[in-house]
Structure 1
Amino acid sequence: MRIKRSSGLVGLCIMVICLVMFMNRKTYAEQGDYMLKVNVASGCITVYEKGGNGEYNVAVKAFSCSTDDTIVKLDETYSITGQQEWKKMSDGTYSQYVMELSNGISICSSSYTAESKDTLDMARFNEIGSGNSVENVWLCTADAKWIYENCKIGNTVVFYSEVNNPGPLGKPETIKLNNQSKFTNWDPTDSDENNPWKNSSARIEGVRDIEITAGEQADLFQNIKGYDICGNDVTKNIIIMGSYDFNKEGTYTIMYYLKDATGSQINKSANLIVKKGKKIQSGQTDMNNTATASEISREKSNGEKMRILIEIGIAAFAVAFGIIRYTKR
């Protein structure tokens, strides 16, 4: 889908992305008063803080998870009763950043075969967000660490089940390890300084200058591929930004931007060269080159729309006011 607007600069787009990421980044310096709602059917945890009325109705974070639906009672209220940086589980495996609940289970990282960060169980890690856990609620290490550092003993945890609605913030994507991944014994999201994944980054391939005649359509995604740090194809998450008009002669700079599930980001630029061609009559619009914001919205669930707005934020605001043009696969 594409939205046309009058003017804008790729540099502004980059600046806007950096600004919105800074503005949307909330600091949690101390453990706070939160409620966790675990959607067992959707595999998603949403973190709520209190609103003005004193109720937990302000969603601030969402995490993909895996649960064992055979051991939780839905619509029951529990609380956090303890926490451990490492814990040996009943099946002999270990987990990091463990929050123990009053129902006897834990919210924690996925399994390790030993109390060591380089012993990740790849198969169980890949279950996060899509499969069942064993006894506990599994998250990637980064998300388990966030809960460990920001929630506190006594915080409320509710389990419920809703298939078609993971939560108000949607369900974040998770990264998967595969047999071609370089370090399958490490969680790619772990912030530990010894994590070998820290030197890996998302990448975009196939970016090159594009040349067309005015009035022609151009597939700006042709031969473009995007990969996360584990080498998985995430081309669908590439966003194109810039100011361009297929009907007007000129050279336009466009930017391809990708952020993977670990937060690794990459952007590459190319020129769209529109050569002189057929004249477009005043008032005539090529409908194949235009789209409305509502058409884009109809393709997204509420959660996905929220995620995109948070990710792009001010950039979306700029689009609405005609500052930039934005394209998503």
Structure 2
Amino acid sequence: MNFKSINRKSFILTLAAVLGVSVIVTAVAGRTSDNSVPADNKNINTTQPSLANNKQPTVIVTGETADISIECNEIKIITPSEATAEELVKSKWSSSDNNIVTVDDGGRIDGLSEGTATITAQIGNTRHTYNITVAAQSQSIYDGYSTCYLANTDVLNENLNNIYEKNPYFIKVNRSQNCVTVYTYDKNGEYTVPVRAMICSTGINKATVLGDDFYIYYKQEWNPLFNDVYGHYVSGFYGDYLFHSVPYEDASADTLETEEFNKLGDEASLGCVRMETADVKWIYDNCPENTPVTVYDDNNPGPLGKPEAIKITDHTCGWDPTDDDPQNPYATKTPEIHGASDLTITKGETADLLEGVTAVDTCSNNITDKISVTGNVLTDKVGTYKLTYSVEDTMHRTKRIDVTVKVV
């Protein structure tokens, strides 16, 4: 069986060309790293995790039996390593309990509810049995509001539990890249472990002051700014230099200057560090007074990379999409996938499974190029196959649509 990982531009699936094809498309965000983590900290992650589900769906098994673990709502594709293409075309799959785990004619299994079940596959003259354990679905580390990148949550949680230790956070602002990275301390007490990266806007023409000896000294939920506007969740770190939201026309969450919001990631302020409401609120809530702050210039945005901003398309709505206020109109919105539907194909037919399929994010921006399609279609085997179209936007909100492909 030939497994392929392909992007949308090249995704023309010639079903007659190969006996077995796994349709796996994965959107992976760019990754960067630097030398900020000592070599002896081998458990420290300095890469930004994939925006898509980074669990590998393919399970290659050897022998007639295997134990496989899967979570609820997770997909895996069982691939017997010793089976020939001709044997797979004639294979028959079944589940002992379709309420716990299902299997299609291509060996794709879907975890539905917690429990154990057995998947049976008759491949050639051999009967294969796979013992499946379905566990509860893991909770996402993201809250569905911020566009931030998170990493090393295990190290951070350990530090947060050491309430008598030092301040768990150190904030570093990369002025030239308009990116903020927050660090926690390593086993040596040094702030080398990156835990959160956030997009920002620093001062136009490098108006944000550089320095490595700043500290948060002031907090205010709403604070007047120059030009008769207001900042939300303000944390001062040096004189008049503040972390604050994109400006609001009034001290009210529905008066955001939306055009200014769309400048995040580029220079835009008079000198302060502007951030998404979700991110500046995180600093406001989590980083106490005396949290150290450094402002520096570097071509590398930071060890976790620079998050991608979400853009507001509806300028009549004066809300920051990342604001977790329950009254926020964006609070109940999710990405959308359009055009994905069940498909019937004749054995040997050519099909483009992404033709006419599009996606938009929480703010209605086109994110079609982030669509992932997961499934396994045996081209010369009449049967029923399950495909999943999924997409995740920069706010880490997701959408999933399952469709059925019948080969007749």
> For residues 17 and 91 of structure 1, what CA distance do their matches in structure 2 show?
51
Deviation at 1:20, TM superposition (A): 5.6
Contact 1:67 1:135 in 2 (8 A): yes
* 1:42 maps to 2:177: yes
Deviation at 1:226, TM superposition (A): 0.8
Deviation at 1:172, TM superposition (A): 1.8
Deviation at 1:91, TM superposition (A): 2.4
> For residues 169 and 228 of structure 1, what CA distance do their matches in structure 2 show?
23
> For residues 270 and 135 of structure 2, what CA distance do their matches in structure 1 show?
42
What residue is the counterpart of 1:207 in the other structure?
340
> For residues 350 and 359 of structure 2, what CA distance do their matches in structure 1 show?
22
- Counting matched residue pairs gives 271
Q: Which has the higher helix share?
A: 1
> For residues 346 and 267 of structure 2, what CA distance do their matches in structure 1 show?
49
Matches within 5 A, 1:9-158: 9-11=109-111, 18-19=137-138, 21=140, 33-68=168-203, 69-74=205-210, 76-158=212-294
Contact 2:202 2:266 in 1 (8 A): no
Deviation at 1:77, TM superposition (A): 3.2
> For residues 258 and 236 of structure 2, what CA distance do their matches in structure 1 show?
23
Q: Note the aligned Cα RMSD (angstroms).
A: 3.0
Secondary structure of 1:65's aligned partner: strand
Deviation at 1:214, TM superposition (A): 5.3
Matches within 5 A, 1:243-282: 243-246=376-379, 248-275=381-408
Secondary structure of 1:48's aligned partner: strand
TM-score, normalised by the number of residues in structure 2: 0.59
Gapped regions of structure 2 (runs ≥ 5): 7-20, 23-57, 59-78, 80-106, 113-133, 143-149
Percent identity between the two aligned chains: 34
Query: What are the superposed Cα offsets for residues 41-78 of structure 1, whole Å, 9 maximum, x if unpaired?
Result: 22211111001121111111111111115323445331
> For residues 251 and 302 of structure 2, what CA distance do their matches in structure 1 show?
33
Moved over 6 A (4+): 27-31
Deviation at 1:39, TM superposition (A): 1.5
Deviation at 1:229, TM superposition (A): 2.0
Deviation at 1:263, TM superposition (A): 3.4
Match of 2:306 among 150, 153, 171: 171
Deviation at 1:245, TM superposition (A): 4.2
Query: What are the superposed Cα offsets for residues 284-313 of structure 1, whole Å, 9 maximum, x if unpaired?
Result: xxxxxxxxxxxxxxxxxxxxxxxxxxxxxx
State the AA in 2 paired with 1:95: G
Deviation at 1:33, TM superposition (A): 2.2
Contact 1:98 1:108 in 2 (8 A): yes
Query: What are the superposed Cα offsets for residues 11-37 of structure 1, whole Å, 9 maximum, x if unpaired?
Result: 47xx89941625989577999521111
Deviation at 1:199, TM superposition (A): 3.0
Query: What are the superposed Cα offsets for residues 244-297 of structure 1, whole Å, 9 maximum, x if unpaired?
Result: 44465432211111222333321111123345xxxxxxxxxxxxxxxxxxxxxx
> For residues 174 and 288 of structure 2, what CA distance do their matches in structure 1 show?
20
Contact 2:258 2:315 in 1 (8 A): no
Query: What are the superposed Cα offsets for residues 196-244 of structure 1, whole Å, 9 maximum, x if unpaired?
Result: 2223222110101234455666433221111112211111222222344
Q: Which has the higher strand share?
A: 2
TM-score, normalised by the number of residues in structure 1: 0.73
Secondary structure of 2:400's aligned partner: strand
> For residues 254 and 130 of structure 1, what CA distance do their matches in structure 2 show?
39
Gapped regions of structure 1 (runs ≥ 5): 276-329
State the AA in 2 paired with 1:116: S
Contact 1:10 1:255 in 2 (8 A): no
Deviation at 1:139, TM superposition (A): 1.0
Q: 1:212 to 1:166 in 2, by over 3 A?
A: farther
Secondary structure of 1:124's aligned partner: helix
> For residues 171 and 159 of structure 1, what CA distance do their matches in structure 2 show?
16
Between 106-115 and 3-12, the greater mean CA deviation after superposition: 3-12
